[in-house]
Amino acid sequence: MTQAVGIARAHTNIALIKYWGKRDQELFLPMNSSLSLTLDAFYTDTKVIFDDTYTADSFSLNGKEQSEKEIQKISRFLDLFREYIGEGRFARVESLNFVPTAAGLASSASAFAALALASADALKLNMTPQELSTFARRGSGSSTRSLFGGFVQWDMGTGSADSMAYPIDDADWDIGMLVLAVDTKEKKIASRVGMEHTVQTSPFYPAWLETTKEDLSAIKTAILAKDFETLGQITEHNGMKMHATTLSANPPFTYWTADSLLAQEAVRQVREDLHLQVYMTMDAGPNVKVLCRASDMERLVQALSAYLPAEKIIKSLPGPAASILSQEDWQASHQKFSERI
Amino acid sequence: MTQAVGIARAHTNIALIKYWGKRDQELFLPMNSSLSLTLDAFYTDTKVIFDDTYTADSFSLNGKEQSEKEIQKISRFLDLFREYIGEGRFARVESLNFVPTAAGLASSASAFAALALASADALKLNMTPQELSTFARRGSGSSTRSLFGGFVQWDMGTGSADSMAYPIDDADWDIGMLVLAVDTKEKKIASRVGMEHTVQTSPFYPAWLETTKEDLSAIKTAILAKDFETLGQITEHNGMKMHATTLSANPPFTYWTADSLLAQEAVRQVREDLHLQVYMTMDAGPNVKVLCRASDMERLVQALSAYLPAEKIIKSLPGPAASILSQEDWQASHQKFSERI
């Protein structure tokens, strides 16, 4: 019996300059370069075992065996690695998602980043993290950014080989994020479907692409200058522009719910009352993310608690790059997961 | 004593192709041509008396004397007529707004249309309704459309003299509108301020203008063909695009509240459940307007009542052109107004 085992942890990330639209559906090549902040509070731990004796791939998530449909997604992703090394061994994948239950955040970014790193480690692939990010990308576009910590850019590239992510800054300068997890129901319109409909029908999409290019350049300048106000303003503007493209699609649609608006109004009110630098962004779902100073987080949570249930407000600091875990780490992770349920 | 008296009624209108941005702030020249539906359920009755013995303008609205600030707005508007005829007589203006209290709809469209027609009648101006609409425009852009009934176009024109409205179709073909008056608080951002901020800062604004030109052409074709589905689809798309421009402004803003989203979700649910042709539009405020078949209104109101308080749902048929009222009409109007309070 030959067995190859890899274990890895990757954190989720929130885009400040959004990825919204693919130029290649198959290869997950984006229409624009994007930039994110990796979050400490949300991560996925994944163990992958390639074994000669297995007769099929299998996949367990949070201790539950997954459906054939979910396994197929994993299998297609593992095929990239199997093709790369020219070996067809089946694999067992076990994942634990460390996402507060109330958050209901999409975990595909951390999931595919962790699986990519675990697979590369198991198969002893000699890849740079950048190269590996081109693999992660094929599982879920945004997972390409979850291989790195702090502020991360995903370069749109010219093709599959150079559409990769790299770290911009470790975000170790009084940066925090609150996730206002107002609604954890599954979204009605998958981001894949929403972005494609937008690309195809929104008359505002060309201006979105054009100005997002400018936003990316400006936010990198702000990050390097540690100019938090400009960083935040660009973040809020870029995110709202993304949501404007869904309203301008034909027929129009929105990821916002009444609870999203209540959360937005709460943030605006608190921003006005406390004179704090807080900036909102939203993704393809109803939750509101708030970029803020880490040193302001406690005051913010307290003020926002007047408007939202406290358990819906989740704090995070910037997170680190994806990392290899030992077997002991994995056992500790299992222990931690079982305790939190 | 020389006295000149005019009394008129004008109905409010809801834009299906939105007016959103001025190219001339002083002359109220719009950035684009727009198209509206005049509503039967909401109107303003106004009496104006020009009198040699008056020593100042005065203005009473719904039986209440108005502040100096409100009087100044009226005075500046009356100056247009006084300059036109070369006479400086002061005037007394009395207006009654027939807008269901729950609706909280901006009444400036019907208000300035009624005042324009009353003034022209009092001063025996020999003007076509189109010419008069260029005067109404100077009080409030959208009032230019309230001089006419049914579907009305406001042509952006090349200057003040030809930026005027004209009727397109009397809308006498199974057309109705529901106003979901979810929030009647005064809006935080006046439409004048919101549109100017959008024109100046939204990167999507040029595409808004370009595609609104196409929408206007297409909706007129649909109206003439009595193609309700296309009419509705263009209405919903154009209105959402307008709101997309506010999200893309810098800093971004929105006229939507949580209640707006609840109303939108109710309309989407009812549309899906009943398979009815209903289309939403929104203006510079939180209320949702629903374009529908007049023959479907009862069923719609009943279905929407499961989601919204029934008193927030106001039905209207298409309304007629502005008209001159007699002294007897005016007395009847007063009587009706006093009874409704």
- Is a pLDDT exceeding 60 seen at residue B255? yes
Which residues in A lie closer than 8 A to residue B241 (C-beta atoms)?
203-204, 247-248, 252
Query: Each residue of B264-317: pLDDT tens digit?
Result: 999 999 999 999 999 999 999 999 999 999 999 999 999 999 999 999 999 999
Number of other CB atoms surrounding residue A124 within 10 Å: 9
Query: Each residue of B311-327: pLDDT tens digit?
Result: 999 999 999 999 999 99
- Is a pLDDT exceeding 70 seen at residue A338? yes
Rounded average pLDDT over A304-308: 97
CA A102, CA A305: separation in Å to the nearest integer? 15
* Residue of chain B minimizing CA distance to A214: B203
Query: Each residue of B33-42: pLDDT tens digit?
Result: 999 999 999 9
Q: Is A215 on the interface with B (CB under 8 A)?
A: no
For residue B183, the model assigns a pLDDT of: 82
Q: Nearest to residue A238, comparing CAs of A18, A88, A51? A: A18
Interface test with B, best of A20, A180, A238, A240 (most B CBs within 10 A): A240
For residue B100, the model assigns a pLDDT of: 67
For residue A87, the model assigns a pLDDT of: 87
Task: Answer yes or no: do A258 and B258 touch at CB < 8 A.
Answer: yes
* Residue of chain A minimizing CA distance to B256: A261
Rounded average pLDDT over B221-242: 98
Candidate from B237, B241, B248 with C-beta closest to A241: B248
Query: Each residue of A126-146: pLDDT tens digit?
Result: 899 999 999 999 999 999 999
Which residues in A lie closer than 8 A to residue B247 (C-beta atoms)?
240-241, 243-244, 247
* Residue of chain B minimizing CA distance to A245: B244
Average pLDDT over all residues of chain A: 95
Interface test with B, best of A248, A253, A254 (most B CBs within 10 A): A248
Task: Answer yes or no: do A247 and B241 touch at CB < 8 A.
Answer: yes
For residue B126, the model assigns a pLDDT of: 87
Q: Nearest to residue A116, comparing CAs of A284, A321, A319, A320? A: A321
Average pLDDT over all residues of chain B: 95
Rounded average pLDDT over B173-197: 90
Task: Answer yes or no: do A240 and B247 touch at CB < 8 A.
Answer: yes
Interface test with A, best of B210, B219, B247 (most A CBs within 10 A): B247
Task: Tell me the residue ranges of DSSP E strands in chain B.
Answer: 3-17, 22-24, 29-30, 34-51, 58-61, 64-65, 90-98, 151-154, 165-169, 176-180, 279-282, 288-292, 313-316, 323-324
Rounded average pLDDT over A213-229: 98
For residue A1, the model assigns a pLDDT of: 62
- Structure-model confidence comparison of residues B10 and A88, the more confident one: B10
* Interface subset of A 248-277, CB within 8 angstroms of B: 248, 250-252, 254, 256-262, 264-265
Which residues in B lie closer than 8 A to residue A213 (C-beta atoms)?
none
Task: Answer yes or no: do A258 and B256 touch at CB < 8 A.
Answer: no
- Interface predicted TM-score of the whole assembly (ipTM), two decimals: 0.92
Would you state the structure tokens that stand for residue A302, as one six-digit string? 């307290």
Sign of the alpha-carbon torsion through A84, A106, A187, A246: negative
Rounded average pLDDT over B181-187: 79
Which residues in A lie closer than 8 A to residue B233 (C-beta atoms)?
250-251
Candidate from B204, B251, B256 with C-beta closest to A233: B251
Which residues in B lie closer than 8 A to residue A211 (C-beta atoms)?
203
For residue A220, the model assigns a pLDDT of: 98
Residue A110's identity, in one-letter code, is S
CA A182, CA A313: separation in Å to the nearest integer? 8
Interface test with A, best of B20, B185, B200, B204 (most A CBs within 10 A): B204
Candidate from A247, A259, A261 with C-beta closest to B240: A247
Instruction: Please tell me the distance in Å from A264's CA to the nearest CA on chain B.
Output: 9
How large a percentage of chain B has pLDDT more than 70?
A: 97
- Structure-model confidence comparison of residues B1 and B247, the more confident one: B247
Which residues in B lie closer than 8 A to residue A244 (C-beta atoms)?
204, 244-245, 247-248, 252
Residues 6+ apart with CB under 8 A from B49: B3, B4, B5, B91, B92, B93, B122
Query: Each residue of A92-102: pLDDT tens digit?
Result: 999 999 986 55
Domains parsed from chain A with CATH numbers: 3-170+325-340 (3.30.230.10), 176-316 (3.30.70.890)
Which residues in A lie closer than 8 A to residue B252 (C-beta atoms)?
236-237, 240-241, 244
* Residue of chain B minimizing CA distance to A281: B252
Query: Cα A148 to the chain's mean position, in Å?
Result: 11
Reported as a pLDDT band with limits 50, 70 and 90, residue A103 is low
Region at B209 (left for phi over 0; alpha for psi -120 to 50; beta for the rest):
alpha
Query: Each residue of A158-199: pLDDT tens digit?
Result: 999 999 999 999 999 999 999 999 987 767 788 899 999 999
A287: helix, coil or strand?
coil
For residue A102, the model assigns a pLDDT of: 53
The torsion angle over the Cα atoms of residues B323, B327, B332 and B333, rounded to 10 degrees, is: 50
Q: Are strands A58-61 and A91-98 parallel, antiparallel or unpaired?
A: parallel
